[in-house]
Structure 1
């Protein structure tokens, strides 16, 4: 029959023919004259003779067996260790499935790690037929492979062959039969290497600078199969781990975050305590109980090269990590003080490290703090654990609060306007219109904030809108005193009301057309208006730790603007008093008077300087100027006004309109004039004058009664009491009754 895998490994071949199944493994050569290929019936087998006469076992047979056994073992050793076919078989057929990795103990120099895994040989994974047959044959012949305890060293060739760590692995046994699953369960003693190297690797990984990592493992492996030793072999394997293959920080959610006033120390000091719970999922087969650890909470400094700023300390509870399960980590901490470096303005910006952190948090962006490990006081953790913890800084991001939804209301009431001085620099705040009023902010406090706080100051910069169109900017650059009160809201939410009296906040008019529409509706509209404000508010908060400035809080609100009642213009009822002619010239007359006005509007204004054109039938006939006017609600008396009557100075049309107006007025007719603003009404704010120029206010000329009129006396009335004409000399003599108590004519 032909040779197959069922044929004996070593058999005797006679000269005459092939052996059969009963042929002994070793037999004597028979001498005779017959057929050499036939075995005589009288020749007993070796096994039978050994059974009958053990003491007569021939030495050649024993020597042959020993030689063959040694040769067999040599073939197995050489076949298992060195041939490429067997090596290829082992590399591709081995299937290792880790099932659990847990921390058993902490020692003075390392950790006891319990490793559980399933290991088997799967010949179907080997694509090369020759390697699969040879490897499977050798594995089946060996059956089992035993190893003695060994030490594995892991080094990093690209880091000057630095030692990453060592692991002492106990003896174990592996069944080499194809498809058989070996359940490995042993505790390895792992000793970490250089702590500085570990810190460097972790930080490069956290910073995204670790593209790949080449590691080399080396171990002296002492093997045996059954009772046969296979020698000690130095096994060295290298592998390159790509960055994408390195486990990343798992996604986490902050389930609970609370801040509260907390006492500390023996002196009764108070700080701000915090409790936090973080939930994350363990995607790996790693299980351990992490002991209580200390943490330092750090905030990045102005420059990354500068040390981070410690703001709080925390201690974790014992964290139970189970394979393929959710992990709940709890920690509690306390903030004892606010470091000066946290609130100090950075050299190249106007923001401090705290401002940078709060700016992201208050605008709903992810804010980042740094967590560094620390051995808690009275802890029994080994020193090497503390060395590693304190050398690793992990960035932690937490979702910010979009305070657009927390500012419930922002309003400005009791509005008071001031116009700038004509001599002020337009670029200076005193050269802009200013507004005063009461700012009221209603905000919701986050549910997790349960600390005693108050607000003693605020400032803001905002944009003013009318019907979604920007027309101005509000600049409240200086701190304004404020007070606050906290009240219970719906559910667990509290509200804080902040009230501040804003004084002389400059306003920039950026769109005179829109502002003109507002003025038109203000004086002639039938409904109140709502102006929108979008501002960035800085708040100075008082806490148990001291004063803290929160910058750039977004706030949107409404500014209600009451329209001027329809009768308010007529109700001004201007009354002239102490009218004087102070100068005359060929071009016109300069007048001075005291005016009484009644303000029925809800607004007040302070006007350092205002110029108005006096017009008739669309022609300018003069100008009125008032200085330092404090226009209050109600009756305003003795407002000093200067006017220039100069129709001829404004062209022929103005001269004719002025002559006609004067004639009608002296004749006792009812006359009117128009008062209109112009670009120079407020010299420092030309756009304000342009906006007000759309207003056409028509006023009745005041009726001035000559002396004696209205007392029931007879005689002539009017300004001309008597006139005598001299025909021969062509002259006339007039007797005039002047309504002016003091009149000075320099030129007539």
Structure 2
């Protein structure tokens, strides 16, 4: 159609030569003078030049020739000069047209339309204004319609001329009713007034003319061609563009990072391209698009550029991609395999940093992404121009990749040069990457959390990685080499208001198998081969790296306590105060299994701990070792050949807070009466001062757990205690009570010692309380304990009333009679005044023991192993005076015992009476061995007993005795029954 614009619609003349300039022309013909042409549409009109040969017209003979052959027309007479020009004639500003000139009118791009009416000048100005706006008008408007001013001109009051050009869209050929006749014919007017002005010759010519069918067909084909051009030039491109945007489908099959560049990365993209017309909903767009793409078949894009923006972040440029030339088949359903390399360049690094921070901190709920592609298209040799395609997508929160979880596969810490410590780590992680890529060797800063979340992270190590290959959906193993030059002070300093340091929290979390978070940031000292843009991007982003540590459940392989010493609390301490708690001292040995990851020299100079003590998986106490205990540590080889650290320290007076008194009582009972070893479990949180190549620092909160076997004492053989009363000293007395201070010897069969500030137990006889035994400020060591002071508080009346008095008498009678007498020792609420609950819990332990043997000063049987008491050492009967004399041994060492009355019977062979003593005269029994005064005896002369007594004169006679003896010890008074058997009495004359 480009040639159509310059092709003349009609030849200048019927002949091959141009008419001479002096030949007369009709007044309505167009002049060829274009020097002053200024019509606004003149550059849009088709040009008919007079220099064109008639034979050049594609139809052979011209249309004017056809018209002349059908009806020859005589040229009209030339009007006179004075004849007025008709209003529809075209004039030229350069020359006056001579009326009657019969030359054929020619069209030139410099011609101007003029009118003879008075308003022509004004309208011409309007046309010129519109023409000035034409260059800025877009090629394809939303509607192609003539302007308003032109529609007003075509009103009824102002009839439109047949040769007027309305707009750029006016057809080049007039309609047939316009009556335009080619050649030397005049155009007939459409109005009746104009018809009236025609000469009779014109009307005759019109009647005689015939229909020019070749001309009609030519005009019809030309009109259809113009319409097709308009449709293809204006309507089709918009439809094809819409079709292309909706039908184009690209499915990437493999996307990988080929390499890095100084400005970005080079990615390899492989995929499948297809045009799917089924995605286009508009039927007309789909039809036009399929037709156009079928005709074009293939489209090739030149080097293109794609830019990606983020509207929600100030429309920052994230990056751009340079695409190479790509050729694809655009016919419907035809697949094209695409494989190309593209260079991706990073955009605004600060903007990318802001997005990364929002993603890491979980604030990125959604993200709007806008893409803009500038593409140069061509199909074959036909250039389709530059197309700018834009599209926007919204990425929701669930579409964002999650932060990777890191698992430590291997960790090795070893000493490095110059006192540094090297860390080799092999970690694995499932990195949610949609593309395969190779990350070059990178340098990182390793940081750990500070005391508070708002505090800056603490730099602890430098790390570097080797090249990392990442594949979608596969676990990636990453080797990291780290170097710790020194430990910063803020890492080991105690946090304000807390009991630990950042290092403590990190180590404790790791050793307990909890999730531990460290932070990784790109190093500002990059490796030589790291591109600068990667350094800038990584250094601006700090990524939290959570990983799970290894729970060191078997860290403590052995835990023993030797030389254990238990101390009861001060009796005057406030309940539930630290002073009211029992304490433990011992030599503790802990065998610590060193993890395989630790391959460096370590020393533990001091330790402290807070331990929970369990029995049968139930907690009964808390052992608080709050003070630093000096320790020694030695590297040893364990039984399985692994390295271990033996830590020894002396535990001094560590408080034991009893949390379950009943369970502790059960432990003590098992220790006293059980036959199996008691095993306690200790779960401790240990603070240690550690000395390494990096220096000396404190590590707090190390979890440790071990089992402590406690050997049982004596089982059921309580006689191994072998208690013996060495001395008795009377102290305070009342009529119903007395306090006797004693010294006792006994044996501690356990391996544990104890310090007892105060303890009080009840003494029961046949289930009735009769006395208290109290110990104050005593120290019990393993093995023999001699001259241990114990107070004996005899108070049967106060303890149990009348029943207590009877039980007390029975106890004393049984004891002095030499019978096997046992008593029950029982705790009560005030056994340990500062621990009343413990006293009540221990009340279930009713320990029954024999009455301790009382050593009689000067008694011959006191040290012979005879455990029976010997209050009556000897007896002598005098037959002549009928009296008896007794050798007595008093257990008191400083006080006298007053015998207030004696009512006794002596028997021979159990039931034969010998005599009776009924004495009401009091006498004293001093400490040690003494002889009583002669007491009168009423002998039974006629009995068998007397005969036996006579026969034993000068010898000894064994006899039995029953007596009720009234005693007065200080202010205490009582009557005691005595049953003696086998008493060897001397018989004298």
d(CA) in 1 for partners of 2:860 and 2:269?
A: 120
Which residue matches 1:94? Answer: 249
1:167 is the counterpart of 2:318: no
More moved, 177-186 vs 557-566: 177-186
1:337 is the counterpart of 2:492: no
1:56-115 alpha-carbon deviations (Å, 9 max, x no partner) = xxxxx99999999998777556456412x75145423433425334344422x4444454
d(CA) in 2 for partners of 1:453 and 1:428?
A: 38
Task: Say whether the 8 Å CA contact 1:457–1:540 is kept in structure 2.
Answer: yes
1:572 is the counterpart of 2:704: no
1:25-78 alpha-carbon deviations (Å, 9 max, x no partner) = x9899999xxxxxxxxxxxxxxxxxxxxxxxxxxxx999999999987775564
d(CA) in 1 for partners of 2:888 and 2:640?
A: 79
More moved, 285-294 vs 391-400: 285-294
1:243-266 alpha-carbon deviations (Å, 9 max, x no partner) = 333344556654433221111xxx
Which residue matches 1:215? Answer: 369
Q: Equivalent of 1:732, from 910, 916, 921? A: 921
Q: TM-score, normalised by structure 1?
A: 0.80
Q: 1:400 to 1:284 in 2, by over 3 A?
A: closer
Task: Say whether the 8 Å CA contact 1:568–1:599 is kept in structure 2.
Answer: no
Which residue matches 1:363? Answer: 512
Which residue matches 1:589? Answer: 738
d(CA) in 2 for partners of 1:550 and 1:102?
A: 45
Task: Say whether the 8 Å CA contact 2:725–2:852 is kept in structure 1.
Answer: no
Which residue matches 1:241? Answer: 395
Task: Say whether the 8 Å CA contact 2:368–2:393 is kept in structure 1.
Answer: yes
Which residue matches 2:809? Answer: 659
Pairs within 5 Å for 1:556-567: 556-566=705-715
Which residue matches 2:864? Answer: none
d(CA) in 2 for partners of 1:563 and 1:603?
A: 11
Task: Say whether the 8 Å CA contact 1:255–1:277 is kept in structure 2.
Answer: yes
Pairs within 5 Å for 1:157-556: 157-249=311-403, 253-263=407-417, 269-280=418-429, 286-321=435-470, 327-347=476-496, 349-376=498-525, 379=528, 381-488=530-637, 493-556=642-705
Q: 1:717 to 1:674 in 2, by over 3 A?
A: farther
d(CA) in 2 for partners of 1:206 and 1:542?
A: 37
d(CA) in 1 for partners of 2:464 and 2:722?
A: 76
Q: Per the alignment, in what secondary structure is the counterpart of residue 921 of structure 2? A: strand
Which residue matches 1:636? Answer: 785
- Pairwise CA distance, 1:598: 2.2
More moved, 243-252 vs 426-435: 243-252
Pairs within 5 Å for 1:702-717: 702-705=853-856, 716-717=886-887
Task: Say whether the 8 Å CA contact 1:682–1:688 is kept in structure 2.
Answer: yes
- Pairwise CA distance, 1:746: 7.0
Task: Say whether the 8 Å CA contact 1:579–1:740 is kept in structure 2.
Answer: no
Q: Per the alignment, in what secondary structure is the counterpart of residue 371 of structure 1? A: strand
Task: Say whether the 8 Å CA contact 1:86–1:134 is kept in structure 2.
Answer: no
Q: Equivalent of 2:309, from 143, 150, 155? A: 155
Q: Per the alignment, in what secondary structure is the counterpart of residue 394 of structure 2? A: strand
Q: 1:657 to 1:244 in 2, by over 3 A?
A: closer
1:499-531 alpha-carbon deviations (Å, 9 max, x no partner) = 333222222333333333333332223333223
d(CA) in 1 for partners of 2:350 and 2:596?
A: 42
Q: Per the alignment, in what secondary structure is the counterpart of residue 97 of structure 1? A: strand
Task: Say whether the 8 Å CA contact 1:293–1:375 is kept in structure 2.
Answer: no
Task: Say whether the 8 Å CA contact 2:443–2:527 is kept in structure 1.
Answer: no
- Pairwise CA distance, 1:567: 7.0
Task: Say whether the 8 Å CA contact 2:406–2:545 is kept in structure 1.
Answer: no
Task: Say whether the 8 Å CA contact 2:449–2:502 is kept in structure 1.
Answer: yes
Q: Per the alignment, in what secondary structure is the counterpart of residue 553 of structure 2? A: coil
Task: Say whether the 8 Å CA contact 1:666–1:719 is kept in structure 2.
Answer: no
Q: Per the alignment, in what secondary structure is the counterpart of residue 259 of structure 1? A: strand
Q: Per the alignment, in what secondary structure is the counterpart of residue 928 of structure 2? A: coil
1:162-213 alpha-carbon deviations (Å, 9 max, x no partner) = 2222333344443323344444455444332221211111122222321211
d(CA) in 2 for partners of 1:671 and 1:247?
A: 85
d(CA) in 2 for partners of 1:596 and 1:248?
A: 75
Q: Per the alignment, in what secondary structure is the counterpart of residue 419 of structure 2? A: strand
d(CA) in 1 for partners of 2:435 and 2:289?
A: 33
1:140 is the counterpart of 2:294: yes
Task: Say whether the 8 Å CA contact 2:874–2:888 is kept in structure 1.
Answer: no
Q: 1:149 to 1:733 in 2, by over 3 A?
A: closer
Task: Say whether the 8 Å CA contact 1:90–1:135 is kept in structure 2.
Answer: no
Q: Per the alignment, in what secondary structure is the counterpart of residue 102 of structure 1? A: strand
RMSD: 4.0
d(CA) in 2 for partners of 1:722 and 1:65?
A: 162
Of structures 1 and 2, the one with the larger relative CO (CA 8 A, separation 6+) is 1
- Pairwise CA distance, 1:629: 0.8
1:675 is the counterpart of 2:864: no
Unaligned runs of 5+ in 1: 1-25, 33-60, 264-268
Task: Say whether the 8 Å CA contact 1:79–1:86 is kept in structure 2.
Answer: no
d(CA) in 1 for partners of 2:218 and 2:302?
A: 32
Task: Say whether the 8 Å CA contact 2:898–2:969 is kept in structure 1.
Answer: no
Task: Say whether the 8 Å CA contact 1:286–1:322 is kept in structure 2.
Answer: yes
d(CA) in 1 for partners of 2:228 and 2:640?
A: 84
d(CA) in 1 for partners of 2:275 and 2:687?
A: 69
Which residue matches 1:686? Answer: 836
Which residue matches 1:718? Answer: 888
Q: Per the alignment, in what secondary structure is the counterpart of residue 462 of structure 2? A: strand
Task: Say whether the 8 Å CA contact 1:104–1:114 is kept in structure 2.
Answer: no
Task: Say whether the 8 Å CA contact 1:472–1:511 is kept in structure 2.
Answer: yes
Q: 1:655 to 1:476 in 2, by over 3 A?
A: same
d(CA) in 1 for partners of 2:694 and 2:770?
A: 67
1:696 is the counterpart of 2:696: no
- Pairwise CA distance, 1:488: 4.4
d(CA) in 2 for partners of 1:290 and 1:724?
A: 110
Task: Say whether the 8 Å CA contact 1:270–1:545 is kept in structure 2.
Answer: yes
Q: 1:539 to 1:680 in 2, by over 3 A?
A: same
1:441-481 alpha-carbon deviations (Å, 9 max, x no partner) = 33433222222223333333333333333333332333333
Task: Say whether the 8 Å CA contact 2:662–2:842 is kept in structure 1.
Answer: no
d(CA) in 2 for partners of 1:76 and 1:252?
A: 60
- Pairwise CA distance, 1:126: 4.5
Q: Per the alignment, in what secondary structure is the counterpart of residue 420 of structure 2? A: strand
Task: Say whether the 8 Å CA contact 1:590–1:645 is kept in structure 2.
Answer: yes
d(CA) in 2 for partners of 1:555 and 1:663?
A: 58
Q: TM-score, normalised by structure 2?
A: 0.62
- What count of residue pairs does the alignment treat as equivalent? 684
d(CA) in 1 for partners of 2:477 and 2:900?
A: 114
1:404-460 alpha-carbon deviations (Å, 9 max, x no partner) = 244333343443211111122333333211222233333433222222223333333
Q: 1:737 to 1:493 in 2, by over 3 A?
A: closer
d(CA) in 1 for partners of 2:266 and 2:222?
A: 45
Task: Say whether the 8 Å CA contact 1:89–1:123 is kept in structure 2.
Answer: no
- Pairwise CA distance, 1:372: 0.6
Task: Say whether the 8 Å CA contact 1:613–1:677 is kept in structure 2.
Answer: yes
More moved, 326-335 vs 605-614: 326-335
d(CA) in 1 for partners of 2:701 and 2:304?
A: 62
d(CA) in 2 for partners of 1:283 and 1:685?
A: 61
d(CA) in 1 for partners of 2:721 and 2:661?
A: 26
Which residue matches 1:612? Answer: 761
